[in-house]
Structure 1
Amino acid sequence: MNKKQIGDYGEDKACKYLSEKGYDIIERNWRTRTGEIDIISYKDETLVFVEVKTLPNGTYDIIKKELNSQKLKRIIKTSKRFLLNHREYSNSYIRYDVVVIDMPGLEPVYHIKNAFTE
């Protein structure tokens, strides 16, 4: 599988997992000029912006490298653009999660709630 196929596989698996946990999937791959959010979901009055990392050969160091401060700032900036365009969520709580897929040593779908904040 190429990088895109691996990413799509991971996002599909993450969406299935989140749906099974009661999350409504609102958007996938929501993009602006400045960034992209893999999954935007909603549960219990909380709008959740989800970054998916599919790391079949991954380590904790790779996760840290992949989720550097520049990447997190881009996700936050993109989420603010989503909120500007979707006022219906203006009274929702906001959370940023990370879902790690297929990393050795972790569950096949490892959900880190509130993984980072602004």
Structure 2
Amino acid sequence: MNTVEIGRIGEEYAAGILQKIGLTVIAQNYHSRFGEIDIIAVNEQYIVFAEVKTRVQGCLGVPADAVGIQKQRRIIKTAAHYLISHPVNLQPRFDVVEIITSPNGEVISSNHFANAFCAQSSDIF
């Protein structure tokens, strides 16, 4: 399997994780000029912008570590863009979901980090 296929498997699995904890997925792969958000989901309190990182078992590094400060800023700007065009009366939250698969795409493990990072006004402007 190539990395695009592995990534799709991870995103679908992550959407299922979010649904199991009571979130409703309202968008996937949302693009703006600032970047992309893998999953946007809501519940009665939050609008969740989730970044999914999927890696094949045995690859170096922890998937969630790939969400560095620059990636966080792009996600925050993209979320702000989304909220301008889709206003909601919910608290934004930024989650990271990491997925580990076998080489053939079978999910081996997953971790969901709710509130993985926070937005500062300096990240938006």
TM range (shorter): 0.7 to 0.9
| Number of residue-to-residue matches in the alignment | 112
Deviation of 1:82 (Å): 0.2
**Counterpart residue type for residue 110 of structure 1:** N
1:85 aligns with 2:64: no
CA contact (8 A) 2:56 2:101 kept: yes
1:109 aligns with 2:110: yes
> Is there any run of 5+ residues in structure 1 with no aligned partner, and where?
none
The range that moved more, 107-116 or 69-78, is 107-116
Structure 1-normalised TM-score? Answer: 0.87
Following TM superposition, where does structure 1 have runs of at least 4 consecutive aligned residues deviating by more than 3 angstroms?
Answer: none
CA contact (8 A) 2:28 2:39 kept: yes
Deviations 1:22-46 (A, max 9, x none): 1100100000122000000001320
Richer in strand (by share) = 2
1:94 aligns with 2:95: no
RMSD: 1.8
Deviations 1:59-107 (A, max 9, x none): 33x532x2111111000000000000002x1x21110000011279xx8
Distance in 1, Cα, partners of 2:56 & 2:111: 12
Identity of aligned residues (%): 38
> Is there any run of 5+ residues in structure 2 with no aligned partner, and where?
103-107, 120-125
Secondary structure of the corresponding residue to residue 7 of structure 1: helix
